[in-house]
């Protein structure tokens, strides 16, 4: 619930409005899981809440830390028994949480583990928030705090638009988790209607678009969504995002051997993005057990790709694969646990 909605609810229970603040404080700052824990509320109100309200909670079934401690993967179970994963990524002072928005995903990107599942369910806003609350709790116990959130886990966030935007709004609120500024990034495979909606939204979040190819031909092979919205549409959307919001879209570009890693790709990538205010984030492909034969390019190929971009004065960052040993790297979520269950 948004604070305004909670206000109404509290008032409808015959309670004074200031109870809203107390409840929000219990939920977000103190991490209460039951109304019974909210000891500064009257007994009567606690009983009313226990009867009338539900605190959405995911059951944490597993947590695995990478050997280096740079990545921690959390496995959560929904009341339906379905499972989603979240990942904490530690990078110096930065603590980024990668959240899931759906169980599975309908977009069927050929190289992605989640894509194999098809869409199983949309997460509720509360289930998105609870991933963050539980990871935050873990981080707090180690004397730190979560600094960034990326919607880059399982699912296509813009296809679960309302619940995702509700969750992001709550994260940003001072009474909620207070993640201000541009600490939140939504990543999309290129669902254009969702991008336009997000641009028009009064919500100050960053946008990442998974470009992943420099020709529509290859992109369509890898990402069926490209049949509907092509590279040119995404470049135009990035321009529009910059014009309207004043900051740059990040283009994610997964480097896959023989598909997206040629010298010509590097040159085309430079060409395509030349006049687009954007950032480029290169992601060397993360192989997983049943990855349909996609391969991470060899080190020398990667270096050559980077060299060409540098020569062409393209700015870019490379995403390191933190947590490969626990299958927590990009696109690896889900598959291993399924195998284990089988
Ligand atoms: N559906 C959203 C967010 C989830 S995927 C999107 O497509 O952006 C997050 C990122 O991981 C995307 O850029 C995607 O291209 C990338 N990705 C998926 N599988 C991968 C893999 N096996 N190795 C490297 N990156 C992968």
The first and second tokens of residue 17, run together, are 């409005």
Check if 3-52 and 59-341 are the same fold: no
Q: Are strands 184-188 and 206-210 parallel, antiparallel or unpaired?
A: parallel
- Per residue in 4-42, pLDDT tens? 999 999 999 999 999 999 999 999 988 899 999 999 999
Dihedral of CA 122/162/195/146: which sign?
A: negative
- Per residue in 187-226, pLDDT tens? 999 999 999 999 999 899 999 999 999 999 999 999 999 9
Of ligand 1's listed atoms, the one at least distance from the Cα of 156 is: 1
**CB 79: neighbour CB atoms within 10 A?**
10
3-state secondary structure of 139: helix
Distance 294 CA to ligand 1 centre (A): 13
Distance 40 CA to ligand 1 centre (A): 44
Of ligand 1's listed atoms, the one at least distance from the Cα of 212 is: 15
Whose CA is closest to atom 26 on ligand 1? 331
Mean pLDDT of 180-184: 85
Whose CA is closest to atom 24 on ligand 1? 285
The first and second tokens of residue 316, run together, are 């870019």
Whose CA is closest to atom 15 on ligand 1? 210
pLDDT at 324: 73
257 lines ligand 1 (CB under 6 A): no
What is each CA distance from 112 to 32, 123, 305, in whole angstroms?
35, 19, 22
Whose CA is closest to atom 2 on ligand 1? 188
285 lines ligand 1 (CB under 6 A): yes
Mean pLDDT of 110-135: 95
Q: Indicate the angle between helix axes 125-141 and 161-172, nearest 10 degrees.
A: 40
Whose CA is closest to atom 21 on ligand 1? 331
d(CA 192, CA 233): 8
Which of 102, 163, 98, 172 minimizes the C-alpha distance to 135?
98
pLDDT at 342: 47
Mean pLDDT of 147-156: 97
212 lines ligand 1 (CB under 6 A): yes
d(CA 87, CA 63): 9
**CB 186: neighbour CB atoms within 10 A?**
23
Architecture of domain 59-341: Alpha-Beta Barrel (3.20)
222 lines ligand 1 (CB under 6 A): no
Give the mean pLDDT of the chain: 93
For 13-17, 148-152, 168-172, 332-336, which range has the lowest pLDDT when averaged over its residues?
332-336
**β-pair partners for 328:** none
Mutational pocket test of ligand 1: of 252, 319, 329, the residue with most ligand atoms within 8 Å of the beta carbon: 252
**CB 325: neighbour CB atoms within 10 A?**
14
149 lines ligand 1 (CB under 6 A): no
Counting Cα atoms < 13 Å in the Cβ hemisphere of 191 gives: 18
Distance 274 CA to ligand 1 centre (A): 23
Compute CA 97 distance to the chain's CA centroid, rounded to the nearest angstrom.
8
pLDDT band at 260 (very low <50, low <70, confident <90, very high): very high
User: Under a CB-based contact definition with an 8 Å cutoff, are residues 185 and 206 in contact?
Assistant: yes
Decide if 85 is catalytic.
yes
Compute CA 122 distance to the chain's CA centroid, rounded to the nearest angstrom.
14
pLDDT at 338: 53
pLDDT band at 292 (very low <50, low <70, confident <90, very high): confident
Dihedral of CA 272/277/281/285: which sign?
A: negative
What is each CA distance from 41 to 32, 34, 38, 133, 270, in whole angstroms?
13, 12, 6, 22, 59
Tell me which range, 168-177, 307-316, 333-342, is most confidently predicted by mean pLDDT. 307-316
pLDDT at 331: 64
- The structure tokens 């060397």 sit at 284
User: Under a CB-based contact definition with an 8 Å cutoff, are residues 260 and 290 in contact?
Assistant: no
Which residues lie closer than 8 Å to 170 by C-beta, 6 or more apart?
Answer: 2, 125, 129, 176, 177
102 lines ligand 1 (CB under 6 A): no
pLDDT at 334: 63
Given the residues 98, 105, 278, 330, select the one marked as catalytic.
330
pLDDT at 9: 96
Share of the chain above pLDDT 90, in %: 85
pLDDT at 48: 95
For 126-135, 165-174, 326-335, which range has the lowest pLDDT when averaged over its residues?
326-335
For residue 35, count CB atoms less than 10 angstroms from its CB and return exposed for 0-12, middle for 13-18, buried for 19 or more: buried
Share of the chain above pLDDT 70, in %: 96
287 lines ligand 1 (CB under 6 A): no
Mean pLDDT of 172-186: 88
3-52 under CATH 1.20.1260.10, yes or no? no
254 lines ligand 1 (CB under 6 A): yes
3-state secondary structure of 61: strand
- The structure tokens 């988790």 sit at 177
123 lines ligand 1 (CB under 6 A): no
Mean pLDDT of 159-175: 94
Query: What is the dihedral angle through the alpha carbons of 6, 158, 187, 284, rounded to the nearest 10 degrees?
Result: 140
pLDDT at 184: 97
**Domain ranges in the chain?**
3-52, 59-341
Tell me which range, 123-127, 326-330, 338-342, is most confidently predicted by mean pLDDT. 123-127
pLDDT at 321: 74
């Amino acid at each position: 619930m948004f604070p305004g909605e909670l206000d109404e609810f509290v008032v409808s229970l015959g309670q004074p409005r200031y109870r809203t603040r107390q409840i929000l404080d219990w939920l977000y700052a103190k991490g209460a899981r039951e109304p019974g824990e909210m000891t500064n509320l009257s007994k009567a109100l606690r009983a009313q809440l226990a009867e009338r309200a539900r605190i959405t909670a995911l059951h944490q079934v597993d947590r695995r830390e990478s050997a280096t401690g740079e990545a921690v993967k959390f496995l959560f179970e929904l009341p339906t028994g379905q499972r989603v994963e979240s990942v904490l990524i530690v990078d110096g002072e930065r603590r980024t949480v990668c959240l899931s928005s759906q169980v599975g995903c309908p977009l069927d990107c050929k190289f992605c583990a989640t894509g194999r599942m098809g869409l199983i369910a949309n997460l509720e806003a509360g289930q998105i928030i609870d991933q963050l609350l539980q990871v935050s709790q873990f981080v707090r116990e180690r004397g730190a705090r979560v600094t960034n959130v990326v919607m880059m886990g399982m699912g296509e966030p813009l296809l679960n638009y309302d619940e995702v935007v509700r969750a992001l709004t709550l994260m940003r609120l001072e009474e909620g988790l207070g993640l201000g500024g541009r600490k939140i990034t939504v990543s999309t495979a290129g669902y254009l209607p969702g991008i336009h909606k997000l641009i028009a939204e009064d919500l100050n979040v960053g946008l990442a678009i998974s470009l992943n190819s420099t020709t529509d031909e290859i992109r369509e092979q890898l990402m069926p969504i490209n049949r509907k919205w092509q590279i040119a549409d995404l470049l135009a959307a990035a321009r529009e995002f910059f014009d309207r919001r004043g900051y740059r879209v990040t283009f994610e570009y997964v480097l896959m051997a023989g598909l997206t890693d040629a010298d010509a790709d590097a040159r085309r990538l430079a060409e395509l993005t030349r006049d687009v205010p954007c950032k480029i984030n290169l992601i060397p492909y993360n192989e997983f057990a049943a990855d349909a034969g996609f391969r991470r390019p060899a080190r020398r190929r990667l270096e050559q790709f980077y060299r060409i971009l540098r020569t062409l004065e393209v700015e870019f960052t490379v995403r390191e694969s933190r947590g490969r040993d626990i299958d927590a790297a990009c696109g690896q979520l889900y598959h291993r646990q399924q195998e284990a269950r089988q």
